[in-house]
Each structure stands twice: as C-alpha cells, then as structure tokens.
Structure 1
Amino acid sequence: MIGKKRKLGSKLKELKVGQSYSADLTIADKELLLFLGLTDDANPLYIQHDYASQTPFKQPLVPPVMLIGFINSAISMYLPGPGCHIVEQQVTYPHPVYHYAVLSLYLEVTDINEEDHLITVMVKVEDEEGRIVVDGKMKVCPAYELESMNAKSLENFY
C-alpha cells in the first residue's frame, strides 16, 4: 500500500441529495463462516440446521450484524466512499435473512448537513422475494478535502 495512490470518496461539496448506489449480494457459506469465525459467534440459530429447523424460522439465519457489515462496506467503498466515517445508524430488520439469500442493496443520500459535515444515507435491502430485510438510515461524515502537500511543503519559501 505504501506508494500506491489511493482515491478518496466523494467530498461533502460533491454530494447531492438523491445520489444513490445499488448492488446485489449473495450470502454464501464462505462469508458466513468467515464472519462467525471472526466474531466467535456460535449461536445455533446461525449455524445449526437441526436446531433452526425446530424454530419458527425453519432454517439458519444470517446474523443481522453481518448484514450491517455489507452495508458499511458499501458506504465506505462507494457512497460516499473511501475516507468516510459512519457516526450513527438507525436500522430495523423486518424480515429474517436465510443462508444463500440473494439481496439487493440500495443506498441514497437524503440529507446534507454542511455545518456538521454530515450526510444522511437511507438504506434498504430487499431479498429475492422483494421483502425489505434491512431498513434504516445512517449519518455519515464524508471524506474531508485535504490541503495540498505541496502547498504545505513550500510555505517557508517566499
């Protein structure tokens, strides 16, 4: 990474209300096992088919916090993108998400607060049946406009 040029995401002045991003996600075993291993989460509702089959859900669920990880990644990488920071989130999970689900993620900028250097991003995730499985909003601090390194390094010269 050293010496590699990295592009920052959209700065506050570049963002517009209504700007959006969408993507499709597939919840595969690899992602589930990596997440559960990383978090040391052994909830039987997430990993044991025999247990889950005896619950009202009938099959293992995807942990909600894993879904938030996908959303955070989309915000960090695409809207507003690299250099941003999520400062608040309000999220509900109206329907469960099952293993192997194909999801559609939609993000949209709904408010820009220049004074506080924050934007509000509406979040919607639908499953393959069109049901909303994640609904919410996030307050995000977009990347800051950086001063030129050349301007700083030359400030001692007249």
Structure 2
Amino acid sequence: MPDDVHRQGKPITAISEGDSLTVTESISERDLLIYLGLTNDNNPLYIQNEYAKSLGHKKTIVPPILLSGIITSSVSKLLPGPGSEIVNLSANFIMPVYHDEIITFSFEVIKVDLMKEVVMISVEATNSQDERVLDSVVMARPPRQE
C-alpha cells in the first residue's frame, strides 16, 4: 500500500501573500435541516417564513455558523487544503443571507508567518446583488512537510 494515500494541501513554503480563491455556494433547505438536526437549534428565524418576515426579513435566513462552515471547509479542501488546521476565525455578519441565495466567497492570503507556521486569510462574501454580507479573517496552520 502506498504511503501517500491522502492528498495534502500546500505547505506554508508554497503559500504567498496574495494567493486567492473564489468559492460560490448556496445553502439549501437540505443543508439547513441537517444543521438543525445536528445542533437542535430551533430558532424560528431559520425555519418559519412568517416569523422571519415579522422581524423585517424577506424570508428565513441562514444560520451564521453555516456560512462559517463554508469558510472552514474551503480552507480545509482548497487553500491551503487537506491537512490544514484552523487555529482562529473571526467573522462579521453584515447582512442576512437567505435560503438558496447564491453567495460568492473571496479568499486572499494576507500574511504568511513562517515563524508561527500560520497563514492569515481574509474572506469577503457577497450576494448576487454584489452586496457584502460577511467579512472574516481566518488563521490556519497549513500541513507540515515531513
């Protein structure tokens, strides 16, 4: 059996400030139901249209943790990629994201710290009207080279 059976992401020495990535996603009803089942979060803002509308929203909104999940999975899968560890994440949720709304996440490496073996990645998410819905900064430890 080969030693390298799993793909590995970029090591820190292969990452540069300015490296970027764009991910487009939409949270479906199925995604939301899985989240609600896993967390037992029964906030009516996430599942009842009339309730959401009574609070001034167009319809039910996506839980912010699902947007954070898109960010962390993009780091884990793509930049730096498999083997990466999230060590810190901060996010500002600027506008609500609605179910089935298409969101574009733009990632950019803003700092590579070889001493601490981490990269800082800035993330901005926009909706289909090009309105900013989220700003985030992620600190990740890329997979170590052996």
Q: Calculate the TM-score normalised by the size of structure 2.
A: 0.94
Percentage identity across paired residues of the two chains:
31
Instruction: Name the residue aligned to 1:102.
Output: 102
Displacement after TM superposition at 1:89 (Å): 1.3
Residues 1:123 and 2:120 are matched in the alignment: no
1:26 aligns with 2:26: yes
* Dislocated runs of 4+, deviation >2 Å: none
Question: How many angstroms apart in 1 are the aligned matches of 2:68 and 2:112?
Answer: 22
Tell me the CA shift for residue 107 of structure 1: 0.8
- Aligned to 2:38, the other structure's residue is in SS state helix
| Equivalent residues, number | 145
Runs of at least 5 residues in structure 1 that lack an aligned partner in the other structure: 147-158
Match of 1:54 in 2: 54
Write the letter of the residue equivalent to 2:129.
E
> Per the alignment, in what secondary structure is the counterpart of residue 79 of structure 1?
coil
Local SS of the residue matching 2:143: coil
Distance 2:141 2:82 in 1: 11
How many angstroms apart in 2 are the aligned matches of 1:91 and 1:77? 20
CA root-mean-square deviation: 1.5
Cα distance in 1 for partners of 2:48, 2:136 equals: 29
Q: Secondary structure at the match of 2:45?
A: helix
Deviations 1:32-72 (A, max 9, x none): 11111111110000011121121122411100011000110
Superposed CA deviations along residues 94-126 of structure 1, whole A, max 9, x for unmatched, are 111011100101111110000000100001111
**Residue number in structure 1 paired with 2:68:** 68
State the distance in 1 between where 2:27 and 2:133 align: 13
| Structure-1 separation of matches of 2:4 and 2:119 | 29
Matching residue's letter, 2:92 = T
Q: List runs of 5+ in structure 2 lacking aligned partners.
A: none
State the secondary structure of the residue aligned to 2:134. strand
**What's 1:153 paired with?**
none
| Matches of 2:23 and 2:51, distance apart in 1 | 32
